[in-house]
Structure 1
Amino acid sequence: MRIPSRRRPRTVLVAAAAGTLLAPLLSGCWTGAGGTGSGGDSINVLMVNNPQMVELQKLTRAHFTKETGIKVNFTVLPENDVRDKISQDFANQAGQYDVATLSNYEIPIYARNDWLHEMNSYIAKDAAFDEQDILGPMRQSLTGDDGKLYGQPFYGESSFLMYRKDVFTEKGLTMPEHPTWQQVADLAAKADGAEPGMKGICLRGLPGWGEVMAPLTTVVNTFGGTWFDKDWKARLNSPEFEKATKFYVDLVREHGESGAAQSGFAECLNNMTQGKVAMWYDATSAAGSLEAAKSPVKGKIDYAPAPVEETKSSGWLYTWAWGIQQASRNPDKAWKFVSWASSKQYEQLVGDQIGWSNVPAGKRASTYTNPDYVKEAAAFQEMTKEAIEGARPTDPGVQPRPAPGIQFVGIPEFTDLGTKVSQEISAAIAGRQSVESALKKSQALAERISEEYEGR
């Protein structure tokens, strides 16, 4: 799927992409290489400070460097900070960092602007990497307009419905094998108050294009709505978009967690872990925390596919992946690191040395046939794999889309648009305005982008 060229010249587009993708620099503290470029037998890697990446940093010297002789200088930053620093270095092609953690939102955009090194030439010569073992939707989401791969996933996720099976049994409730959103709403009403202080469901309401807009957009998709039609006409005021948004807002206001307008992933995870909600629709990656050894709800949760209405599936798709900067001085050594960090062998290393619950899963089919992993993640691993394999990043709704993305629109401007629209939706969840008012303002914001892309 090719996003049409803009009215503005390419140099301006590159600057706009960089500027829109920049997040505020929050702290500026990091560990690692500092301002020096890579060279010789060393590479510089810039990555988000998520737990799986921190474990990678700990394992690299004793394993990757020992085996290859390649020294890896890590710069590790919180998510907002790392996005800012990556976009600056890659947009300017400064070459300070050879490799960076990028999501399936940024990689196609970066590839379009020639900021990334293609990986097909390396894959062709590296049979041991086993590219075909990477789950199909992951490969698709990291592919550029030219059909070449520009990223390799470190770990991935989709979304599904988590619910307290013990509460459902006690209340005589049955979760359908493939629930619809209306069925979920009915169950939320019946589970509301099942235990003292327990609400029926947790749904994100916190402003942010990656917070409330992620689950809400999957609801919009399966209700038949879309942010833009194939001709780039904004559709946030369409009956389908309005019906989905009103459904979501009404559900969380009537049967959702307290303080929903300020609840994101972390808050819902806390609510589910502490037994404050009976259901939660969110990322498949949450299951590992719910089933952790010290979790109060370990063994009490069951899992169902992302609810649908008009589509066969509706789960989102997200991955933290490795991208190699086009200006890298050491692309061959960078690939050696990327192929190691995304390999079956690395997963085995983590499983053996740290524990199988820490394996960066969600990217390889072989992970889900590994008996050690299957045993550790028995409660959710099959449902997670099905959710990822069922994700449709280029065809998530009922109509053709002008850009890829399930829980986002794969254009540089979406970070700003999604954030502003999320603020309007969150205000509706808080009861400060109607859904109609929120979407009227949101439509006006989206129409500005339509003007740039329409007819191209």
Structure 2
Amino acid sequence: MTMLTRALLGATALCACGFAAAAQETTTLTIATVNNGDMIRMQGLADAFTEANPNIELEWVTLEENVLRQNVTTDIATNGGQYDVITIGTYEVPIWGRQNWLVPLNDLPAEYDVDDLLPPIRAGLSVDDTLYAVPFYGESSFVMYRKDLAEAAGVTIPEQPTWDEIKAAAAAMNDPDAGIHGICLRGKAGWGENMAFLTTMANSYGARWFDENWQPQFDSPEWKAAITDYLDLMNNYGPPGASSNGFNENLTLFQQGKCGMWIDATVAGSFVTDPNNSTVADQVGFALAPDAGQGKRANWLWAWSLAIPSSSDAPEEAKQFLAWATSKDYANLVAETEGWANVPPGTRTSLYENPDYVAAAPFAQMTIDSINAADPNQPTRDPVPYTGVQFVAIPEFQGLGTTVGQEFSAALAGQKTADEALAAAQELALQEMTSAGYIQQ
């Protein structure tokens, strides 16, 4: 062996050792997410990602919705760097994107096919045509109901119901002696819990959070009508302890056969029709969210999305994970392991053009119709100075929405009258908007 050969072999060995050392280096991504069914399913399937990316490890922080929002907001506002991937919604993305708190996502690989994202969902996750989050699932809201109970009660729930028809159906199906409540609605306080539902219900009655001069409108007859009807529905036909019920609690009640109707997120469609988890899977019907004759339905527009905080020290690895978790390949993986009906809905045009999905998901058409019907720029009958359907897209809304939600939750619990809750909401909103400078004294 010549000296040159020995040198070349030695150099090769050193290079191999260097590559081996590099290959052993791993990056840990800390992912903050919400404790709902689709996100938990993603965690169960994440081995497919780590097997394809052995240099990346995943660490999950799974939290209840209100807690997740609080923790993530605190971390990103303080540049804490606790998370590499965060689960956030359509409310936060535009606000945080403008603050440069999120990593832009306009350089995703071509095979990701950004143009396949549903236009209303993509627009809600962009600022000046720059994408700052990718949707894990998108949703609006609709009516889910027990077809067997409706038939037995002699009522018909049309595809485009009014609130009067919903009230009549709730009364007819209500049978507390049998443990069946005519209707289940959100009561848990939170800007993304009871106020998501109540804001859209109010929209359908012609109510609005603020007039064009940012003056609060809780003293309007439209808000009075919406809250009065909400309390009447829940007090007469709702489950006990409803002021503590959010999405997950009502989902459990419906799956257990204890709700005649449930008006909530379209993403619940796959859960209530899943025979492995729902006792009424073969008896569920769907309808658009109700209206009150004002030209607007009580349906919202939302996407639980994945984003990367600017404080992350592993943005490129985080982009790899985002691209995987919200890709067409991930949808196919869910279909192979869980069935097409369980694919995360409301994100891609191609999903609703897929005959396998449409055939497996009886809620598919109602979901896409509801998403397309929501209008963030004109959420209610009269003009408003804000965008957002079930929220007001200003930074102050997160705190204000929750404090107002506490007033209405207290009314549902019997601690206040509707008038008292509305008066308190009006005063809270007036103080906040004045101190924040929206209203000039």
Which one of 97, 102, 110 corresponds to residue 111 of structure 1?
A: 97
How far did residue 194 of structure 1 move?
Answer: 9.4
Distance (Å, rounded) in 2 between the aligned partners of 1:259 and 1:68: 46
Aligned to 2:76, the other structure's residue is in SS state helix
- Partner of residue 398, structure 1: 381
Distance (Å, rounded) in 1 between the aligned partners of 2:252 and 2:316: 43
Amino acid at match of 1:158: S
Percent identical residues = 42
Deviations 1:45-79 (A, max 9, x none): 42214443344344444x43444565143232313
Which one of 29, 32, 35 corresponds to residue 44 of structure 1?
A: 29
* Structure 2 residue 167 is the aligned partner of structure 1 residue 185: yes
Distance (Å, rounded) in 1 between the aligned partners of 2:354 and 2:377: 30
- Partner of residue 290, structure 2: 307
- Partner of residue 144, structure 2: 162
How far did residue 217 of structure 1 move?
Answer: 0.9
- Partner of residue 83, structure 1: 69
Which one of 337, 351, 364 corresponds to residue 367 of structure 1?
A: 351
Deviations 1:145-171 (A, max 9, x none): x34221110112221111111122223
Contact persistence 2:200–2:297 (CA under 8 A): no
Contact persistence 1:203–1:252 (CA under 8 A): yes
Contact persistence 1:46–1:86 (CA under 8 A): no
How far did residue 95 of structure 1 move?
Answer: 4.3
Contact persistence 1:137–1:393 (CA under 8 A): no
Larger radius of gyration between Structure 1 and Structure 2: 2
Aligned to 1:285, the other structure's residue is in SS state helix
Amino acid at match of 1:244: A
Contact persistence 1:43–1:97 (CA under 8 A): no
* Structure 2 residue 312 is the aligned partner of structure 1 residue 348: no
Aligned to 1:421, the other structure's residue is in SS state helix
Contact persistence 2:139–2:265 (CA under 8 A): yes
**Deviates further, 151-160 or 309-318:** 309-318
Unpaired runs of 5+ residues, structure 2, are 1-24
Which one of 294, 298, 318 corresponds to residue 334 of structure 1?
A: 318
Give TM-score, length-normalised by structure 1: 0.82
**Deviates further, 312-321 or 235-244:** 312-321
* Structure 2 residue 259 is the aligned partner of structure 1 residue 277: yes
Q: Report 1:250-269 matches (<5 A).
A: 250-269=232-251
- Partner of residue 184, structure 2: 202
- Partner of residue 129, structure 1: 112
* Structure 2 residue 418 is the aligned partner of structure 1 residue 435: yes
Q: Report 1:211-230 matches (<5 A).
A: 211-230=193-212
Amino acid at match of 1:109: I
Distance (Å, rounded) in 2 between the aligned partners of 1:160 and 1:128: 33
Q: CA RMSD in A?
A: 2.5
**Number of residue pairs aligned between Structure 1 and Structure 2:** 411
How far did residue 246 of structure 1 move?
Answer: 1.3
- Partner of residue 92, structure 1: 78
Deviations 1:96-145 (A, max 9, x none): 5432211112212211221012223x15xx3322222212221122122x
Deviations 1:175-205 (A, max 9, x none): 1221111221122223333983433212222
Which one of 360, 367, 374 corresponds to residue 384 of structure 1?
A: 367
Distance (Å, rounded) in 2 between the aligned partners of 1:238 and 1:105: 25
- Partner of residue 18, structure 2: none
Distance (Å, rounded) in 1 between the aligned partners of 2:40 and 2:174: 39
Amino acid at match of 1:46: I
Unpaired runs of 5+ residues, structure 1, are 1-39
Q: Report 1:61-72 matches (<5 A).
A: 61=47, 63-67=48-52, 70-72=55-57
How far did residue 261 of structure 1 move?
Answer: 2.7
Distance (Å, rounded) in 1 between the aligned partners of 2:258 and 2:67: 32
Contact persistence 2:296–2:380 (CA under 8 A): no
Give TM-score, length-normalised by structure 2: 0.85
